[in-house]
Amino acid sequence: MEKILSSVLKKITPSKKEVKSEEDMVRKIRQKLSKLNGKHSHLEWCGSSARGTHLCGDRDLDLFIMFDKELSEEELEKEGLRTAKKLFKGQKWEKAYSQHPYLRGVIKGFEIELVPSYIVDSGAEKKSAVDRTPFHNKYLMERMSEKQKSDARLLKQFLKGIGAYGADLKNCALPGYGVELLVLYYTSFEKALKGISEMKEGKVIDFFEEEEKAKKLFEGQNYPLIIVDPVDKNRNVASALSVEQFERMVLAANLFLENPKKEFFFPKKVKPFAKIKIKQLLSKKEIIAVKMPFPKKELADLVWGQLRRELKKLKNRLNENDFRVLQANLWSDEKEVYFIFELENIILQKAKKIIGPFASDSENSKKFLQKERKLLSGPRVEEGRLVLEIEREYSNAKDFLKQEIKKEVKSETKSIKYGLKKAKVLTEKEIIKEYKNNFSIYLTSYLKGKEIFE
């Protein structure tokens, strides 16, 4: 293991040249800010690059423009955006949103976020959600050793390698700050991995050793993992982590500890199956898909949240209409979107059997028989119960999904509506026609049905 970790660390640690270029960029922006007139105080450099826990090639800089807490929210928003626009002058940028809007853009290859924030006395006394971020920096920089910073890099790459890193709605996993807290709590990479391998759903990590209090605070929210923010006790740093990603972390940690391999950090690239093999595999399954364009001019994170909700909604509607869903998956390269549904049956019998109450239950039998239905046969008694058969409105999953998507276009929010208007329902032959580029890699992985680290 030591040999593997040493090799991985060399590969993922930013060079001195990279670190210096980051420091130079932050210094230039600070100098530019100091020359601007306005109500701002100073610039805080936050995030993993500031803490020295980021990965090689990570060109993200999280910069916070600090303002006096007496400033109103309206003034903070106005001044923050005005100042950020001046700092981005002549560069490409876009407006993004947290609790209030901020700007993000690119300067000389660096992806920079300029976020307005209040100067407050502690993370718990925040006026807005982002105000606690400078305290995250302070907390970790005061406590993490250089060895732990390297271990945080290892754990980030491990989680990235297994596909379980990033708190955005695309990944639904752990943020960098959460990973760093795990290393700090367990003291090293190996001990953190051992800790993860032994986790059960509902696990609480609390630096204040008030686990029961934390459980009560977050009761009913069904978090698989609770990492109490040491800067703000009322916040779960792992709130974005899905059950699926939590279980993936636990599985991968166990498998790595049993048999350490470099592939956990850097999985082998998936080689797409030949099209003839895809045809053979699809012929043995009942798979139907919905393809739509990824909504443009919208924040990707917001779109991913809406896409996940749409997947769940369509899955539930299929199940409610007897198209039993065995698997439901979402894939997108942020150009095209595919909802993949593996069903028990794509074509159902046109006749649907409805089983009612026992015939001897006169009151409920009367109500059952009084409902208006287009009967094909019945009512009759089978094993003591009233039974009748009706004609299904939809016996083909493709027709059903087409109709559901039409309904969704009328009810969905603006950003996803754009994509749904152009959505197409794809059957097996049509899915094969889509088998190219990145979708071919995804479909191969899906049909293999294995975790990338196995």
Does position 404 have pLDDT exceeding 80, yes or no?
yes
288 & 432 share domain:
yes
Do 384 and 360 form a contact (C-beta atoms < 8 A)?
yes
pLDDT of 441: 95
Do 389 and 352 form a contact (C-beta atoms < 8 A)?
yes
pLDDT of 111: 95
Longest dimension (CA), the chain: 87
Distance in angstroms (rounded) separating the CA atoms of residues 227 and 409: 38
171 & 223 share domain:
yes
375 & 329 share domain:
no
Average model confidence (pLDDT) across the chain? 93
End-to-end CA distance of the chain: 17
CATH of residue 73's domain is 3.30.460.10
23 assigned to some structural domain: yes
Confidence band for 309, pLDDT divided at 50, 70 and 90 = very high
Distance in angstroms (rounded) separating the CA atoms of residues 361 and 369: 12
pLDDT of 98: 75
Does position 412 have pLDDT exceeding 80, yes or no?
no
385 & 413 share domain:
no
Distance in angstroms (rounded) separating the CA atoms of residues 237 and 335: 30
Q: Report how many domains make up the chain.
A: 4
CATH of residue 260's domain is 1.10.1410.30
Confidence band for 51, pLDDT divided at 50, 70 and 90 = very high
Across 41-50, 90-99, 144-153, least confident range: 90-99
Query: Does an H or E element contain 417, and which?
Result: helix 414-421
Does position 363 have pLDDT exceeding 80, yes or no?
yes
Does position 99 have pLDDT exceeding 80, yes or no?
no
7 assigned to some structural domain: no
384 & 400 share domain:
no
159 & 247 share domain:
yes
Does position 171 have pLDDT exceeding 80, yes or no?
yes
pLDDT of 325: 97
244 & 153 share domain:
yes
Distance in angstroms (rounded) separating the CA atoms of residues 154 and 4: 11
pLDDT of 410: 81
pLDDT of 414: 66
Across 134-143, 320-329, 401-410, least confident range: 401-410
380 & 280 share domain:
no
Last residue of a domain, one of 264, 295, 319: 264
3-state secondary structure (DSSP) of residue 156: helix
43 & 28 share domain:
yes
428 & 298 share domain:
yes
Does position 42 have pLDDT exceeding 80, yes or no?
yes
Mean pLDDT of 261-290: 95
For 209-263, how does the pLDDT look when each residue is reduced to its tens digit (9 = 90+)? 888 898 999 988 999 999 999 999 999 999 999 999 999 999 999 999 999 999 9
pLDDT of 145: 97
Residue 247: which domain range?
144-264
For tokens 């002549």, the residue is 90
How much of the chain exceeds pLDDT 90, in percent? Answer: 78
3-state secondary structure (DSSP) of residue 12: helix
Last residue of a domain, one of 201, 236, 264: 264
1 assigned to some structural domain: no
444 & 327 share domain:
yes
Confidence band for 127, pLDDT divided at 50, 70 and 90 = confident
Q: Residue 358 forms beta bridges with which residues? A: 385
Do 432 and 278 form a contact (C-beta atoms < 8 A)?
yes
52 & 75 share domain:
yes
Last residue of a domain, one of 264, 285, 303: 264
Mean pLDDT of 192-206: 96
Q: What is the pTM of this model?
A: 0.88
Residue 228 makes CB contacts below 8 A (sequence gap 6+) with 204, 205, 206, 207, 208, 210, 214, 235, 236, 237
10 assigned to some structural domain: no
Distance in angstroms (rounded) separating the CA atoms of residues 143 and 180: 11
5 assigned to some structural domain: no
Label residues 303-320 b or e (16+ Cβ within 10 Å = b). Answer: bbbbbeebbeebbebbee
CATH of residue 289's domain is 3.30.70.590
9 assigned to some structural domain: no
454 assigned to some structural domain: no
196 assigned to some structural domain: yes
3-state secondary structure (DSSP) of residue 55: coil
Confidence band for 438, pLDDT divided at 50, 70 and 90 = very high
